[in-house]
Amino acid sequence: MSSRRWLLLAACSAGFAGPAHAATTCTSSNISLGFGSYLMINAAPLDAQSSMTVSCTRVNAPGDNSSAKVTVAVSVGPSQGSGSIQNRQMFQGGAPDLLNYNVYLDAGRISVWGNTTGVDTASQTITVPNKQTVGATFTFYGRLFAQQNVRPGFYSDSLLVTVDY
């Protein structure tokens, strides 16, 4: 199993490339999770979502038409702003204010996306036929919590996204 680690910013970006098996290579799309403008007077949280696709291509030796099963697992590490998975925070450069948010596995925003395998990570197993490409798509659901008293400005955070395969 190989592992690649990338940076996910809460205004987020990530990328990935590397071999899954001897004759299989995988790459991913870049992602960005931006919440837009935040107004602290709004009673409702501000939600956002973005997807990352990991595409795996299999090219075997001539005459070998076998397929490969590849399990792609994605984990999201702690916030650079808070050092926590459960309580992620965006920060504004040079200002003391922090914006509380999180990244979730589900559209209902119940399960926080973390880095404990089998507990709070996401995985998909795909079958990649020879000379074909198959993708696995992962959706990141973000929530910026309502009614936080912060100064105006640009807030961001960095998260480490690990893709294992």
The pLDDT value given to residue 30: 64
Query: With bands split at pLDDT 50, 70 and 90, how would you rate the model's confidence at 3?
Result: very low
pLDDT tens, position by position, 6-60: 445 544 333 333 443 457 888 886 677 899 999 889 999 999 999 999 999 998 8
The pLDDT value given to residue 60: 81
Question: What residue numbers bound the domain in which 70 lies?
Answer: 3-164
Distance set, CA 91 to CA 7, 12, 85 (Å): 16, 13, 15
pLDDT tens, position by position, 120-145: 999 999 999 998 999 999 999 999 99
For residue 75, the SS3 value is: strand
Segment 95-99 long-range contacts (CB within 8 Å, at least 24 positions apart): 95/151, 95/153, 97/150, 97/151, 97/155, 98/150, 99/38, 99/144, 99/145, 99/148, 99/150, 99/155
Q: Give the total number of structural domains in the chain.
A: 1
The pLDDT value given to residue 66: 86
CATH number, domain of 117, equals 2.60.40.1090
Residue 104 pLDDT exceeds 90: yes
- Rounded mean pLDDT of the chain? 85
